[in-house]
Amino acid sequence: MLNSVFKISFLYLLCFLWSSSINAQEISFLFMGDIMGHGPQIKSAWQENKKQYEYSEVFNPLDDIISSVDFAIGNLEVTLAGKPFNGYPQFSSPDELAVACKNSGMDVLVTANNHSCDRKNKGVIRTLDVLDSLNILHTGTFKDVKNREKDNLLVLSKDGIRIGLLNYTYGTNGLPFSDPVYVNLVDSVLIKKDVTNAKNKDLDKLVVFVHWGYEYRDFPNSYQKKYNRFFQDLGVDIVIGSHPHVIQPMEYSKKNNQEFLTVFSLGNFVSNQRAERKDGGAMLRLSFKKTDNNLLISRKEYIPVWVHKFIEQEKYHFQILPCARPIYNEKYFSNKEDFQKMKTFLDNTRAHLNTNNLAIEEGVPYGLVKFKPITILQSQDPELRSLAIEQIKTKRRKRRRK
């Protein structure tokens, strides 16, 4: 009798879980910090035997993480302006950097930052042309005002969920853009107009990716805090910060079912900056679940990443490591000092964020997992053995502009 009751109860539970999964809609994101292109990185990417540039090894350790989300978004803090290729202070990286971003699983590159105009108008335009040729979505800089009117609000959608993305920068290092090119600058009047327009586009959530703050400071300044409150008052849901080149705190709050999340700075995603705190950054993994027309955050976590610069075959190489993975232990590194540097970065990052974050904790350094469906045969009880988790190898790319 008890066995029969258990079977009936279990079947009711399965039906409930099945119906809940049908009613729930989900969308996942990964936000990454500053993608830099210093001179040593450009030199490292050159393959003499092939007479071409190649950046794939830089992103390979993160492929499973990046490709497991619906939309992976990074800050492209270089131009793709063509030759001559240069690093700091006026960046122009080979197109192959964007190719590697695309092949790693990145879907969106925001382009409004203090280096947007490093190669003037031609650099802005060519950067956008390269991204378009690779089908990489973008916002923040525009070929002309008409393109801005059409493409300023980037809408990313999946299964009926619509997330809007806007992008701004505090400035362009004193290098002005001129007509017809347009770069989104942090301006309260402009932002209010853009957000008001976005709110009329049937969005579920609105994200602002903003280039702001003092470089190399561990905490946001008054300018960041002021604009963060301004974004919240306007009804922005998520604020992602870049520019300081070090990690700054992350905050989450919920009041009257209204959520607001801010990452003041994700730090460097990849660069040649090797000093402590500058030699890595964090990714933010964020998921939303929609149930009964109510969309709420279902996952919010940071994943530390450290840039491994090493010598192999008399040449420097760069790799972005999800440094909390056990595989990156002392045995992994040919130079034991590199392991200690990575460990110092990871320990400092955890101490900083675990102390100063609000309701955002560290996540596992692997790609998202999914459950295989339970197989129910008419002739027998559910086969529990078929319930398993598997790592997502590829993602369904569902990209939609407004």
Q: Which of 21-30, 64-73, 207-216, 279-288 has the lowest mean pLDDT?
A: 21-30
The CA distance from 219 to 316, in Å, is 32
Percent of the chain with pLDDT over 70: 86
Residue 203 has pLDDT above 80, yes or no: yes
* Residue 232, helix vs strand vs coil: helix
The four Cα atoms 4, 9, 12, 14 give a dihedral, to 10 degrees, of -100
Helix (H) or strand (E) holding 353: helix 336-356
Question: Which residue type sits at 218?
Answer: D
Name the more confident of 386 and 182: 182
**What is the DSSP track for 39-58?**
HHHHHHHEETTTTEE--HHH
- In 100-246 the beta strands, taken as DSSP E runs, fall at 108-110, 137-139, 141-142, 154-158, 161-169, 182-183, 205-211, 238-242
Q: What is the dihedral of CA 95, 57, 67, 139, to 10 degrees?
A: -30
Query: What is the C-alpha to C-alpha distance for residues 315 and 322, in angstroms, rounded to an integer?
Result: 23
Burial code (b: 16+ CB inside 10 Å, e: under 16) for 138-147 equals bbbbbbeeee
Residue 16, phi then psi, degrees to nearest 5:
-65, -45
**Tens-digit pLDDT profile for residues 115-163:** 999 999 999 999 999 999 999 999 999 999 999 999 999 999 999 999 9
Query: What is the reported pLDDT for 370?
Result: 58
Query: Has domain 20-367 been given CATH number 3.30.2290.10?
Result: no
Using one digit for the tens of pLDDT, what is the confidence trace for 115-127? 999 999 999 999 9
> What tokens does 275 get?
């000093």
pLDDT tens sequence across 306-324: 999 999 989 999 999 999 9
At position 262, the amino acid (one-letter code) is T
Q: Which whole-number Å values give the CA distances from 200 to 45, 205, 231, 326, 342, in the listed order?
A: 44, 12, 16, 47, 46
CB 152 within 8 A of CB 142: yes
The two structure tokens encoding residue 167: 């992008």
Q: What is the mean pLDDT of residues 380-396?
A: 36
Across 60-88, average pLDDT: 98
**What amino acid occupies position 272?**
N
**pLDDT, greater one: 88 or 368:** 88
Q: How does pLDDT run across 18-41, given as a tens digit for each residue?
A: 434 445 699 999 999 999 999 999
- Reduced to 3 states (helix: H, G, I; strand: E, B; else coil), residue 72 is strand
Q: Judge if pTM exceeds 0.85.
A: yes
